[in-house]
Structure 1
C-alpha cells in the first residue's frame, strides 16, 4: 500500500500498539476527537493511524491522566507516538520531501537563509530605477510585486494540494459532502479539540494543570492570518475590480484587516513560541522542535515587520523595512509546503474524514 512506502513502519507500529491499549481502557473517551475515532474501530490500518495522528492536537491531557505511562510496563506516551506519525505524514507526502526533512531538522537556519536571500532580491529590485507610484510602490512597482509574488504563492499552494491528494487517498477519504466540511470547519473555528473535553483547556505547557492559553494563542494566530489574507484579497479586488489604487487610508478595509490581523498574528505567534519553550519536549517529536519553532518565529517576523513597515513608513528605515517584510513574506510562501503550515491542511482533511466516519 502507499502508506507503507510513505511513513515509517516502526512509528506506525508503535502508535498502533498504544492505540489498541487505549481502546481497551477508554478512560479518555471524552478528551478530544481522537478517542471517539479510536473507539469506533477494532482494527487500524496504516491510513487509520495517520488520520488519527492528524486529529491529535498534542494537548497532552491523555498522557497526564493515563495510568499506563512509564514506569508501567506498557510505557504509553500517545502524544509522542502520534506526533511522530503526524510529522512523517506531513513531510513525506510533500514533494520533494527532502526539503521538508531539512526544514524540520534545521528550520531556523533554512528560514534565515531564505529570508535574507529573498530580502536581498527585493532590495536589488528596489535599487533599480524608481517607479512613479505612490507610497511603497515608489520603491517597488505594483507589477514587480505581482511578478514576484504570484508564482511564489500559487506554486506552493499547488504542491500542498498535491500532497493533500496523496494523504486523502492514504486515509481512505471518500467523496466530500457539504455537511462534512461544515462540521470540520466548526471544530477548527472553535479550536474544539484544545478545550480538554470539558472546556478547561489543555495541559501543553503546565503538565497536569489545565490552561486555555494555547487555545487562545492558536485562535489569535489563525484569525490573524486570515485577516491578513483578507486584507490582501480585498486590496486585489479594489485594485483590479474597482480601479482603486493603493495606497489606502487607515479606515479602508485593507488597512483595517491588515493591522488588526497583524496584531493578532504577532500576539498569537509570540505566545505560542513562549509556550513551546516551557513544554516538555518528550511528549512531542523532539527531532523537529527547531523546525516548528522556526515556522512560528517566521510568522512572527512576517506580521511584526508588516506592522513596523506601516507605522515607520515616514522614516528613513522604509527601504530596509520593506525589503525585510517582503523577504519574510516571500520566504514564508516558498517554505509553506515544507513547514508546519501544512498541518492546518492535513488536520482539516483528518477532521473531514472524521465527519465522514461519524455519518
Structure 2
C-alpha cells in the first residue's frame, strides 16, 4: 500500500496534469487524496463519504465537494496532518477557496463574476449609502423629506407602482442570475435522476442545517477546538428571519392585489406580525454570525473571503434594523427619511445578492441534492469492482 507521502505526491502530479484544475482545485485534490488514504473523518459530514466514492478528483468533483462542505471546522481540529505538519492538510480552507472559484466561474453574466473578489464591506455600505442618499436627495428636491405624520402611508412618499417596478426588477435580476449560475453548475455535475426521496432528503438537510453539527452533534469549531452550536442557531435565525420577511411581503401582495386591502396595515395584521418577527430574527442572526466571524480561528476557511462574508451579514442586519425603525416610527414626521434609508439598503442587498455570500446557499442546496442522489447509487469503485 502506498504511503501517505507517496499519495500526496501523486495527488499533486494528477492535479497539475489536468488542465481544468486551477491552483485552488489542484490543492484541494492533493488534500482529498490524503484524506482518502486516512479516512479518519469519514463520519463527520457528507463530504468524506462522497470523497471516498472517488479515486481521483476532477475540477467538477472539487467544486461539488467544496460546496457540500459547510465549513464547520471539525475535520481541521481532528486531523493529524493539519498545519504545522508537512502535509498541511486544511480541508476547510481548501474547500472555501474552491467555493470562491465556483461562485465566480458560474456567475452570470460571466464578467460580473469578478465582483466576488471585490464585494467587501466597504462596497456594500457604499452601495447602500449611495442609493439611500439618492432617494433622500430626491425627496428633498420634491420638498417631501420633512412632513406632517402620514399615518404610516408609505405610498404617499413613493407611489406603490414605482416601488413595485423598482424592487421587482432588482429582485428579478438577482433570481435570474442565481438561477442561471445554479443551472450551469448542475449541468456540469452529471447528478443523476432526481426522485421524491432524494429531493426530500436534500430539503430536510438544507432546512435543518444538518451538517453544521460538526459530525458529532456538538456543533462547529469557531475560535478554538471547542465545539459550539451557536453558528447553527444564528444561521437558523438568519434563514428563518429572512423567510418570514419574504412571507410578510408575499402576504402584503395578496392583501393588495387579491383582497384589495391597501397599506398601511395594523400592527396586529399578518404582514406586520410576520415582518416584525422576521426582522428580529434578522437582527439576532446576522449579529451573532458577525461576532463569530470576527472571532473565528485563523485557519478556518479563506481569510480573503471574510470581507465578502461580512458585507452580506452587515447588509442583512442593516436591512432589518432600518425596517424595524421604519415600522416603529412610521406615524412620525421622520417616516419619509427612514423609508428612503430602508429602501436604499434593500436595493443594495438585492443588487449584491447574486455576486456575494448569498450564492453559497444556492450551490449548497444543489450539492445536497446531488449527494442525496449519489449515495443511493453504486459508487465508481463498486462499478469498477463489478
Q: Distance in 2 between matches of 1:295 and 1:49?
A: 25
- Verify the 8 A CA contact 1:111 1:331 in the aligned structure 2: yes
* 1:119-165 per-position Cα deviation (integer Å, ceiling 9, x unaligned): 134335545487x9961111111111112111111012111111111
Structure-2 residue corresponding to 1:178: 196
Deviates more, 1:5-14 or 1:73-82: 5-14
* 1:229-276 per-position Cα deviation (integer Å, ceiling 9, x unaligned): 000011111111111111111121111110000000110000000000
Q: Distance in 2 between matches of 1:7 and 1:165?
A: 20
- Verify the 8 A CA contact 2:223 2:297 in the aligned structure 1: no
- Verify the 8 A CA contact 1:103 1:110 in the aligned structure 2: no
Structure-2 residue corresponding to 1:248: 265
Give 5+ residue unaligned stretches, structure 1: none
- Secondary structure of the 2:268 match is coil
Per the TM alignment, residue 214 of structure 1 is displaced from its structure 2 partner at its CA by 0.5
Q: TM-score, normalised by structure 1?
A: 0.93
Structure-2 residue corresponding to 1:229: 246
* 1:77-125 per-position Cα deviation (integer Å, ceiling 9, x unaligned): 1110000001110122112455443354351222122212321343355
Q: Distance in 1 between matches of 2:47 and 2:101?
A: 18
- Secondary structure of the 1:249 match is coil
Matches within 5 A, 1:1-359: 9-127=22-140, 128=142, 135-203=153-221, 205-359=222-376
Q: Distance in 2 between matches of 1:294 and 1:135?
A: 31
Q: Distance in 2 between matches of 1:7 and 1:153?
A: 33
- Verify the 8 A CA contact 2:50 2:371 in the aligned structure 1: yes
Q: Distance in 1 between matches of 2:237 and 2:119?
A: 26
Q: Distance in 2 between matches of 1:136 and 1:291?
A: 32
Aligned-residue Cα RMSD (Å) equals 2.1
Q: Distance in 1 between matches of 2:19 and 2:366?
A: 17
Q: Distance in 2 between matches of 1:347 and 1:39?
A: 19
1:103–1:42 CA distance, 2 compared to 1 (3 A): closer
Per the TM alignment, residue 282 of structure 1 is displaced from its structure 2 partner at its CA by 3.0
- Verify the 8 A CA contact 1:105 1:287 in the aligned structure 2: no
* 1:169-206 per-position Cα deviation (integer Å, ceiling 9, x unaligned): 22223343332221111011111101112211110x23
Per the TM alignment, residue 49 of structure 1 is displaced from its structure 2 partner at its CA by 1.0
- Verify the 8 A CA contact 2:119 2:356 in the aligned structure 1: no
Q: Distance in 2 between matches of 1:98 and 1:198?
A: 41
Q: Distance in 2 between matches of 1:289 and 1:17?
A: 24
Q: Distance in 2 between matches of 1:328 and 1:334?
A: 10
Per the TM alignment, residue 29 of structure 1 is displaced from its structure 2 partner at its CA by 1.3
- Verify the 8 A CA contact 1:133 1:141 in the aligned structure 2: no
Q: Distance in 1 between matches of 2:168 and 2:29?
A: 42
Q: Distance in 1 between matches of 2:179 and 2:198?
A: 19
Per the TM alignment, residue 328 of structure 1 is displaced from its structure 2 partner at its CA by 0.6
Q: Distance in 2 between matches of 1:166 and 1:28?
A: 31
